[in-house]
Structure 1
């Protein structure tokens, strides 16, 4: 198989993961309708974490971690697993899967913004414009379906925004930890620590919640394992391995497919209405991500460099 074919196969793998992640928002929307949210997320992350640990053991990647690595893993677990998944499940109980998909699309942009503030990444006019466009896109989500009046963000939208922000913060710590730690090991340790934290929250917030989860019908359990195994455990592994081969710079483009597939699956499977304001917001968010993450800027620099060489 030649190199070009291998690249296309990797592209197909990544697109497949984007489809899974888009569908996962719909899956979670169904799950929170039948299971207590915190308890459901606890078990879902435990299952995903167990699968990743098994993969780590099979690949001989389990090792002792340093104190510095543990600090970064713990911080990433608090924000990326406990905060992200807890707020996500709670938010989905009172907002649409469409809005959830669009708000979560801001993760790359928010991560880029935090990297500028915390890690000292350069702030350019293009990136700043991207940040502005992205948040204009979120502002458009507050416009009612008719487009004639502002309805305001619902409490569910606010919780999803907190979920998105928590995940963006976690990526800062993940970036620090993965300089010495394999991404799969990082994910495995995060899920183990995070699921323990979610368990404590669920026991406090939802006494008897774990028992209630097991009363869900069979089709809900099929969705549960599809979400835990395919989208969360295997999806992350496929994504990480493919991105290493096609380049991290492409991630901004592919991440934009998640809200796209989220919108389609929400409309088709949940019969949710996609309003013009939401579609306009989607366009602004996609443009914001491409500019704000530095993707467009880097492509332009590469183009100019090649032009000067010729």
Structure 2
């Protein structure tokens, strides 16, 4: 598949993930967050298994591949979704979306540590800009301890997801990332359901009182944002690499902020806008996109016209 098609697919995934933030915020007001997440991820895994069966690429993993799947289930599913939903329960969807925008920078740093891909000086500058953006958007002017705790939960969520991308890159040498996604979701959803029984006893009963809009968003979140979104993104990682794919994650907070403002009525303040600009600048530098663009322009200027 061409790079252009992969990039357009990633734009679609970022829109779906951005929309997922306000959807999860709404869903969590009707059913306890961990309970609904466990059922949602289980539904998503079944959908991915059916898709892969239809595509005739589903197979059983080897013993070595199961090790990657188990680590990916812990980081990409259990920890990521657990802390994301716990965080959204006590902070705004807007702040949550902005913190998720740290994904590309954390991916670049993790790639240096685990994949021996070392960032340049510009990328380190991007890291500082990104952290500054999150500080401005989330910490400056925030009130109440609950908000800060929720923001910390969401940071743990995105950090654990970034670590899972390193696992996906290593596993992609022998295992199709789409197949890995199905197994990770299946194993991780079981862990989430068990966790929900401990943290939220009786949460399953609240499904019976949920309104029709809840079920519509529940299906959209599980089948589109989670099932298709993670399957496509993990496939892109295997094709274009973790750092290159992460460039597109800067669209995630943009879509999350806009859609949270439209559908949840959350107010965008000046600090949100300034923080977002810092994060975008940090992403462009931290992911290497700005440096690559500069090098290409430099080559064009020095290449003689024949």
- Give me the TM-score of the superposition, normalised by structure 2: 0.90
Match of 1:289 among 283, 289, 295: 283
Question: Any idea what the Cα deviations from partners look like across 1:3-53, whole Å, max 9, x if unmatched?
Answer: 9xx987766554333222211100000011001111100001011100000
Whether contact under 8 Å (2:169, 2:242) holds in the other structure is no
Question: Any idea what the Cα deviations from partners look like across 1:140-199, whole Å, max 9, x if unmatched?
Answer: 121127xxxx87861111111111111111111111111211111011011011001111
Q: Does 1:209 align with 2:203?
A: yes
Q: Which runs of 5+ in 2 are unaligned?
A: none
Q: Which residue of structure 2 aligns with residue 76 of structure 1? A: 72
Higher mean displacement: 287-296 or 218-227? 287-296
Q: Which runs of 5+ in 1 are unaligned?
A: none
What's the CA shift for 1:239?
A: 4.8
Residues in 2 aligned to 1:98 and 1:261: alpha-carbon distance in whole angstroms: 10
Higher mean displacement: 55-64 or 216-225? 55-64
Whether contact under 8 Å (1:143, 1:151) holds in the other structure is no
Q: Which residue of structure 2 aligns with residue 127 of structure 1? A: 123
Residues in 2 aligned to 1:309 and 1:276: alpha-carbon distance in whole angstroms: 43
Residues in 2 aligned to 1:243 and 1:117: alpha-carbon distance in whole angstroms: 17
What's the CA shift for 1:276?
A: 0.8
Whether contact under 8 Å (1:103, 1:161) holds in the other structure is yes
Q: Does 1:191 align with 2:188?
A: no
Higher mean displacement: 199-208 or 236-245? 236-245
Q: Does 1:144 align with 2:141?
A: yes
Match of 1:22 among 12, 18, 35: 18
What's the CA shift for 1:309?
A: 4.2
What's the CA shift for 1:117?
A: 2.2
What's the CA shift for 1:54?
A: 0.5
Residues in 2 aligned to 1:99 and 1:39: alpha-carbon distance in whole angstroms: 23
What's the CA shift for 1:238?
A: 4.6
Change (3 A) 1:39 1:184: same
Change (3 A) 1:245 1:96: same
